[in-house]
Amino acid sequence: MKANVIVHKDFAVSPIDDRVYSSFLEHLGRAIYTGIYEPGHPTADEDGFRGDVIDLVRAVKTPYVRYPGGNFVSAYNWEDGIGPRELRPTRLDLAWRTRDDNRIGVNEFVDWCKKADTKPMLAVNLGSRGLDAARNFVEYCNHPGGSYWSDLRRQHGWKDPHNVKLWCLGNEMDGPWQVGHKTAEEYGRLANETAKAMRLFDKSLELIVCGSSNADMPTYPDWEATVLDHTYDSIDHISLHMYFANNEHDTLNYLAKGEKLDRYINTIGGVIDFIKAKKRSKKDVKISFDEWNVWYHSREQDKKILEGDEWPDAPHLLEDLYNFEDVLQVGGILNTFIRRADRVKIACIAQLVNVIAPIMTEEGGPAWKQTIYYPFLYASIYGRGTSLRAVVDGPTYDSEFGDDVPYLDVSAVRSVAGDEVTFFIVNRHLTETLDLAATLEGFPGARLVEHIQMTHPDLNAINTAANPDNVVPKTVSGTVVEAGKLQSKLPPLSYNVIRVAV
Ligand code: AHR
C-alpha cells in the first residue's frame, strides 16, 4: 500500500496555539487526593504535592490545567476551599457521589501549577450558583488588594494575585446530568451577564462559554447558535467536549471516529461564522476543546460507586487503563487539533492524573505513564509552531463515521524557529505496511533528525505500575530524507513521529 503526502513551506493552515496541549484536573476520584496531593508520600514536598507526579507533568509541558471541574464545578462553593484547612467544610459532591474535605482549594491549586510549570484555567459555577459567586471568585483570585475578597486572599497567605486569565463559564450546561442544567436561552443569558460582570472587573480576561457536551446531544447544534447569539460580544471561546470509546471492539470504526471530531469542529465553526455575520461582528470566536480523551474502559466498574450510596473519599473512579489501540486514537485526535489549528485554540486532555489520564499513581507507591502519555508528550513538544497543510493521496476505507477515511492519518508542523518539520502519522491499516513518500516543497537541504515509533503486537497491551514499560516508543531506522523527499515504511497500526531538519 502506498501513500503520498505533500507539504509546502508557504501553505500553512495557521499558527498552532500552544494551549491546545492543555489538560484538566477535577475534584473527581483520585485526581487531586493521592493524585497530585498526597502528604506523607515519599516524594511529597512541604505542601504535600507528589514530586514524582510533578516531574511527569513538567515533562509533558502542558501549558494550562483546567480546574476544579467538570461536573464537580456545578455544585461547588469555591469559598469552601479557602482559609484555614481545619475550618473548611466537608461536602458531598453530587456529581461523583464522593465526599470532599476541601483540603485543596484554589490557592493550593495555583501553587501546584507553579511547581508543575503550568498555569490555571478556572471554571466558575453557573449550575447551582451564578454571577455573584463568579465575580467574587475572580476578585479573590486576581485583585491585588484593598477590597474585601482580595484582602481575604492576602490574609489567607497569598499576597500576590493569581492573575488567572482563562475562565470557563460553567461546565456542560446543556447536559441534563448537570446540577443546575439549563436551556440554551437560560444559560445564554446567565453566561452573558456573568461574562459582562467579569469583563467590568478586567477586560483582558479570556472567557469560555459552554457549547455542547458532545455532538450527539439532542440540542446540538442549536445550543451553540442560541448561546452564541446571547454571548458573542462578551466571550472569546466556545467549549466543546468529546470522548471516544471502542465498545464494539471494532478497531477500524474506532479509529475513524476522528471524522466525527472533524465534522464537529467544522459544524461549530459554521455556527460561529453564522452568528458573527448575523451580528456584523469583526471578532472571531474560537473553539476551546476543553475535554477530550478515550473514556470507556472503567465505565462498568464505576457503577458501584456512582449508583451506590457510600459517599467515599477519593475513590478509584474513571481509572481507565489505556491500551496500545488508544495510542492510535489519541495520536489521531491530536492530529485533528493540529490540522484544525485555525479554529481550535485551546484543548484539554481530560484528564491529567488518575482520572481518564495519561499519568497514574498508586497511593504510597509509584507514578507511571499510561500508553497515551506518549502521543500527548510528542505533540506537546514537537507540535508547536505552524500547522502545515498536508495533502494526502492514499488508500481509504468506509466506516460508520464516514466514507473515504484515509488509512494514513497525518499532521505536519513547522517548528517555531522554522528549522524543523515534524510529521505525526498514524497508519490505521490493520495488516498492511504503508509505503510513505512525502514531498517537502520549499525546504532545500531537508534531512532526517529521528523517527520515533510506537507499535505493539497486542492492541490490548497496557502499562501498569508493575510493568510500566510494556508499551513504549522506540527510535527506528530505515526512514530516508533525500532531495526533498521523505521515504518510510510505516507498519500496520503504528504511531509515528518523524522529525525533519529544514
Ligand atoms: O471528565 C469527566 C467528566 O466528563 C467531566 O466532569 C464532565 O464535564 C464530562 O462529562
Coil, helix or strand at residue 493? coil
Backbone φ and ψ for 108, nearest 5 degrees, come out as: -65, -35
In the reported structure, the alpha carbon of residue 281 is separated from the centroid of ligand 1 by a whole-number distance in angstroms of: 32
Provide the grid cell at 238: 466556545
pLDDT tens for residues 234-281?
A: 999 999 999 999 999 999 999 999 999 999 999 999 999 999 999 999
Distance of CA 361 to the CA centre of its chain: 19
Q: pLDDT tens-digit profile of 303-320? A: 999 999 999 999 999 999
Question: What does each C-alpha distance from 390 to 227, 379, 387, 409 come to in angstroms?
Answer: 34, 16, 9, 10
**Range 111-131 average pLDDT:** 98
List residues bridging with 415 in a β-sheet: 385
Percent over 90 (pLDDT), the chain: 100
Cα within 13 Å of Cα(299), Cβ side: 9
Q: Ligand 1: which of 291, 298, 317 to mutate, judged by most atoms within 8 Å of the beta carbon?
A: 291
| Integer CA distances (angstroms), 393 to 348, 413, 483, in order | 31, 19, 20
pLDDT tens, residue by residue, 392-408? 999 999 999 999 999 99
Centre of ligand 1 from the C-alpha of residue 263, in Å: 21
Q: Is the CB of 69 under 6 A from ligand 1?
A: yes
| Tens-place pLDDT, residues 139-167 | 999 999 999 999 999 999 999 999 999 99
Closest residue CA from atom 5 of ligand 1: 70
Residue where the block lists cell 495510542: 327
Strand pairing report for 286-294 and 237-244: parallel
Query: Given this model, what pLDDT does residue 346 score?
Result: 98
Could you tell me if the CB of 329 is within 6 A of ligand 1? no
Burial letters for 136-168: b for 16+ Cβ neighbours within 10 Å, e otherwise? bbbbbbbbeeeeebbebbbeeebeebbebbbbb
Model confidence band, residue 483 (pLDDT cutoffs 50, 70, 90): very high
Pocket test for ligand 1, best of 76, 172, 208, 240 (most atoms within 8 A of CB): 172
- 50-98 pLDDT per residue, tens: 999 999 999 999 999 999 999 999 999 999 999 999 999 999 999 999 9
Q: Are 255 and 396 in contact (CB under 8 A)?
A: no
CB of 249 closer than 8 Å to CB of 266: no
Please list, residue by residue across 372-409, b when 16 or more beta carbons sit within 10 angstroms of its beta carbon and e when fewer do.
bbbbbbbbbebbbbbbbebebebeebebebeeebbbbb
List of domains in the chain = 2-10+387-501 (2.60.40.1180), 11-386 (3.20.20.80)
Active site residues: 172, 291
pLDDT tens per residue, range 369-397: 999 999 999 999 999 999 999 999 999 99
C-alpha cell at 343: 479554529
Provide the pLDDT confidence category of residue 176 given band limits of 50, 70 and 90. Answer: very high
Ligand 1 contact, 68 CB (< 6 A)? no
